[in-house]
Amino acid sequence: MLNKTIVFFRKKTIVFNSIENVFNVLSQYLVAEKVELPHESKGLIPRLKNIRFVLQFNRQLSHITGHDHYLLWFPFAKKVILTIHDVEALKRKSGFKKWLFKKLWFDIPIRNAKVVTTISKFSKSEILSLGNYRTPIKVIHNPLTLPLSFSPQAFNSKEPRILHLGIKKNKNLARTVQALKGVKCHLIIIGNPDTELLNLLKIDDILHTIRTNLSQEQVIEEYKNCDLVSFVSTYEGFGLPIIEAQAVGRSVITSNVASMPEVAGSGALLVDPFSVEEIRNGILKIINDSELRESLIARGLENIKRFEPAAIAEQYRELYETINN
């Protein structure tokens, strides 16, 4: 009988939830106990309190599901799995802060883990580029986390609704807006753009709607109501919106960099996210070519079979069992 594994979740907040969504979906298939950290990961004292809290589970197989790498500043008596989603936070730093963050968030935790899992081959290559780590790194993709199903609808080629998710710099909204200048469409933005982005939308005269603080059901409706999804990020460790759009049956335009080609498979149109012209041409191609749209949708529906939660959970179950034995 497989012993129960402790799966640690960071303290629930309004801002962060993607990691929790992933492992909440997987937990129903796993022989594991979900444990939420008592304190937010802000400042040294709350983090040290979280470390003290997790040490009470020191003799059970544990899985740190992401973000809280510092929990492995000290080695556990029992083996620990650490999931690293990407290294994007490290890329935002420089100088001494970058060196220190790398030591505390990657070098030490990776050394103290029995196994590291990460969510894409791209993320694995990024982690390996940081150092000559001896700890094994295993790729286990994220699952489809939203309860989405194929929902066909007629494509509005006269004024398509283009769904864009996220407003952080890597989500590339500014170039997307520039690419849509003069294109008759309705841009739906999930997120709260800053003043600079709002001014750009006004200057380029883009018909748009901004949606914030959406429930899961509302996000699903946005997928169903759109005609295509634009996800031309400059950096992603995975990119869940790609497979979410594919599951609903929407055409996807995404980037030819980072993890996006790996996740999208053949079910999306790939473009250079740093080229406004390529983004524009790609969107126009989807709008004007019905055969391309149908092909992307069909291949997307085939692609998402790789990311069914039961199949992804089985990979974690096998890992837990291997380490426990």
pLDDT of residue 1: 37
Going across the sheet that includes 62-64, the strands are: 32-36, 5-9, 62-64, 80-84, 115-118, 137-139
Which H helix or E strand runs over 230? Answer: strand 228-231
Q: What residues of the chain score a pLDDT lower than 70? A: 1-3, 14-17
pLDDT of residue 21: 82
Say if CB 35 and CB 55 are below 8 A apart.
no
Pairing type for strands 228-231 and 208-211 reads: unpaired
Count of C-beta atoms within a 10 Å radius of residue 169? 12
Say if CB 259 and CB 123 are below 8 A apart.
yes
Predicted TM-score (pTM) of the model is 0.89
CA-CA distance, 38 to 53, in Å (whole number)?
8
pLDDT of residue 307: 96
Taking only the tens place, the pLDDT of each residue in 238-251 is: 999 999 999 999 99
Which domains can be identified in the chain, with CATH numbers?
A: 5-143+308-324 (3.40.50.2000), 161-307 (3.40.50.2000)
Residues listed for the chain: 325
DSSP 50-81: HHHHHGGGTTS-EEE-SS-GGGGSS--SS-EE
Nearest alpha-carbon partner for 156 in 185, 177, 190:
185
Say if CB 259 and CB 239 are below 8 A apart.
yes
pLDDT of residue 134: 94
